[in-house]
Structure 1
């Protein structure tokens, strides 16, 4: 029994699987290390098969050398697009790091191997909350839709122009700190005013030892007011998801 094999479809789907798998290993929420690597790889192949009807038509089989170069090109393309999404969502982690720094939690720093985050309590809390919101709000579906649209701009036998993603990375990195300050800004302002107040107290009544009082006061203020920042995270994650989709589309244009 002869089973016909469409090598053009097989090659095109394989190249698409390389791009999607590289993307899933870097882009949130799929980059979370709690998800086994084999599941990410299987999901990447499944997405590539689902997109095969869009990527295979018009594809011509390549020789061995050009095919290997095309594999590397798809690996670079998927990694760049995934890194763009990662940088976009790093604003939430940076906001948590600022709160830990100003609130005095930075002394209890630890490493979370699953989130691949090195930070204190609010850094990991914000990162985990953003991940949960991204899954529960189906934001991951928008990110995958942006990835699917990248195949229309850069086919599986093409190479992404590196100047555009690099330009977007520079612009996004410049906005990263601003976004983090905007997220944690109200709480940082309160903690800054608390520092000023404790400084004035130490000048008026040195016997109170305002330096020793500073740690429990700032920790209490952080715990009491951090809920307002957490309540704003759903809107923040929604806006970051839209930004990530725009970066995906803009990165391949």
Structure 2
């Protein structure tokens, strides 16, 4: 086994760098709750399987080899980041909802990333991750890592950063993130906008009523009622978000590979 692995060691190292770079940014696999040793171990065994599955070209360790290592790390980071960027739409949607509900001042620390996140954003994000595991979305992300070599050859020495299509693709992905966040938040935000209009009318017609005291609990109650009603519709939008994430990963691989 070791004798067979020695000639393929340079290719194995390149595959290992790409896989572990994926795991550094990819949703689910990049979280702090997963031990670093487990991430490295999964990447190691997955790289071994991929080396003996693909017909990889013979690669020698020379001055170009270090450029290939940097390229593989950048490929993994870019594709993992584009997947994480789209899933961030759920957190942004929660931020929109929290701002209207009055929860924007009460952020929580996300134990997975260590960053502050809105309350409703964390709630929706947790449900989305459970839904992602239910539909085996993590398997599809690993498939993306596995089949990335069909689009980006291991011996390709560069990433076409100067390609205008690549920059346009990333900008459109960034734009799609905000569009999906708006679609996720519009039922609750729209309902709260109507509540604000109703409270404004009440404040003008009944000046004795303190709308600042009544408004906050009313908006919180309406938000939870609307959220319970539309949660199934939000799951449909989130499932479309997963499809968009996987197709975006594939499109970015094609652009990097020059397809």
Residue 191 of structure 1, CA deviation = 0.4
Residue equivalent to 1:170: 171
Residue 57 of structure 1, CA deviation = 2.8
Partners in 1 of 2:6 and 2:67 — Cα distance? 18
Question: Per-residue displacement from partner, 1:61-118 (whole Å, max 9, x unpaired)?
Answer: 231x222211111000100000110111111111111111111111212222324442
Task: Give SS of 2:109's match.
Answer: strand
Task: Give SS of 1:59's match.
Answer: coil
Distance 1:233 1:140, change over 3 A: farther
Q: TM-score, length-normalised on structure 1? A: 0.91
1:86 pairs with one of 84, 87, 95: 84
Residue equivalent to 1:191: 192
Backbone CA RMSD of aligned residues:
1.9
Question: Per-residue displacement from partner, 1:228-252 (whole Å, max 9, x unpaired)?
Answer: 3432343233212221221121112
Given that residues 99 and 184 in structure 1 are in contact (C-alpha distance below 8 angstroms), is that contact kept between their aligned partners in structure 2? yes
Distance 1:147 1:177, change over 3 A: same
Instruction: Spell out the pairing of 1:30-109 with structure 2 (5 A cutoff).
Output: 30-63=29-62, 65-109=63-107
Given that residues 20 and 78 in structure 1 are in contact (C-alpha distance below 8 angstroms), is that contact kept between their aligned partners in structure 2? yes
Partners in 1 of 2:204 and 2:120 — Cα distance? 32
Residue 58 of structure 1, CA deviation = 2.2
Q: TM-score, length-normalised on structure 2? A: 0.89
Residue equivalent to 2:220: 219
**Unaligned segments of structure 2, at least 5 residues:** 255-259
Task: Give SS of 1:171's match.
Answer: helix
More moved, 150-159 vs 136-145: 150-159
Residue equivalent to 2:238: 237
